[in-house]
Amino acid sequence: MEELLQHLINGLSLGSIYSLIALGYTMVYGILQMINFAHSEVYMMGAFFAYYSAKLLKLENSPSFTTLLIILFITMAMCSLLALSIEKFAYRPLRKQPKLNVLITAIGVSLFLQYVAQIIFGADPKVFPTLINDQLLFEVAGVPVKSFDVTILGVSVTAMFALHFLVYHTKLGQAMRAVSHSPAVASILGINVSRTIAFTFVAGSSLAGIGSILVGIKYQKIEPMMGTMIGLKAFVAAVLGGIGSIAGAVVGGLVLGVSEVLVVVYGSSQYRDALAFGILIFILLFKPAGIFGKNTIEKV
């Protein structure tokens, strides 16, 4: 029982990271109807932004809550800038082109960033700076609760609530929802569509930046190829929840995280990645709209 609880905590903290990244996929899909494959590379770059900013500010060996906050904000800002330039130079010129062109461009941007990162940062893994100490905080029913897990869950839950507030209680969020429904009508009503789309990229990539730091804290190892697998898993999480749905991305990420941990513990760690893709195939076969998605019929 205690063991199971421990695994659940592990699964939730892994799942909340998937959720954070899945939110970026789902938001961009909601507003542009495209899968932004470069998102996983924004996440990867986020880890390096955090690594180098901690080095430059000489914060790599002074773990504290303040350190974590400073690095979080810098990384979010840098990831936003990166995503804004991707949107402006790679996607915006193609906005009126068929969706497939943008999709292929996204894959191109993703590969470009992966290899640029290998050239600049080197292909070898780097040790992520200790931003926060891993210590035993308290025990619940004999289960040790450590500060890593609390930080990861705390930061991601806060970020998700902030996103929820932004989308449902501010003019920016309402503009996002209006544009995702119909850019033409939103524009007639005075909403600057390009700016709203840019803002969606900022929000999604900030969450990816947060995710990259949490992964850095949890696994302490970063490398230029780290975005590929977690990006695919987060994409599966977004599809599982229903792509385009914000609640779906959160739930999808958590379900995926917990089931992955349970498979590793009670099955075999070899099936860890197979599970995610098994879920993807299963969802696409039996409920393509996902848990929270609405089944829309594509009009021809």
Q: Which residues here bind another protein, judged by CB under 8 A? A: 166, 169-172, 174-175, 177-178, 181-182, 184-193
The residue among 164 and 177 lying less far from another protein, judged by its C-beta, is 177
DSSP 297: P
> What is the closest distance, in whole angstroms, from the C-beta atom of residue 175 to another protein in the complex?
6
Provide, rounded to whole angstroms, the least separation between the CB of residue 24 and another protein.
18
The smaller minimum CB distance to another protein, of residues 193 and 247, is found at: 193
The minimum distance between CB 199 and another protein, in angstroms, equals: 8
Q: What's the closest the beta carbon of residue 191 comes to another protein, in angstroms?
A: 6
Block residue for tokens 């289960």: 143
For another protein, the closer of residues 30 and 216 by Cβ is 30
Smallest gap from Cβ 241 to another protein, in A, equals 17
Buried b (16+ CB within 10 A) or exposed e, 209-242: bbbbbbbbbbeeebbbebbeebbbbbbbbbbbbb
| For another protein, the closer CB: 166 or 232 | 166
The number of beta carbons lying within 10 Å of the beta carbon of residue 68 is 18
Tell me the closest approach of the beta carbon of residue 240 to another protein, in angstroms.
21
The alpha carbon torsion through 18, 27, 275, 282 (nearest 10 deg) reads 160
210/280 with CB nearer another protein: 210
- Is residue 139 within a helix (H) or strand (E), and if so which, with residue range? strand 136-140
Q: Which element (helix H / strand E) includes 244?
A: none
Of the pair 146, 177, the CB lying nearest another protein is at 177
Are the C-beta atoms of 79 and 209 separated by less than 8 Å?
A: yes
Closest CA to 246 of 212, 205, 292: 292
Q: How many helices (H) and strands (E) does the chain have?
A: 11, 4
Shortest spacing between CB 25 and another protein, in angstroms: 20
In the chain, where does DSSP find H-type helix?
2-32, 39-56, 65-86, 99-121, 147-169, 171-181, 183-188, 193-219, 226-241, 246-266, 272-286
Shortest distance in whole angstroms from residue 190 CB to another protein = 4
Q: How many residues does the chain have?
A: 300
Helix, strand and coil in the chain, % to nearest 5 = 75, 5, 20
User: Pick from 285, 224, 292, 272: which is nearest to 19 by CA?
Assistant: 292
Under DSSP, is residue 126 helix (H, G, I), strand (E, B) or coil? strand
**Measured from the CB atom, is 32 or 263 closer to another protein?**
32
Nearer to another protein, 143 or 193 (CB): 193
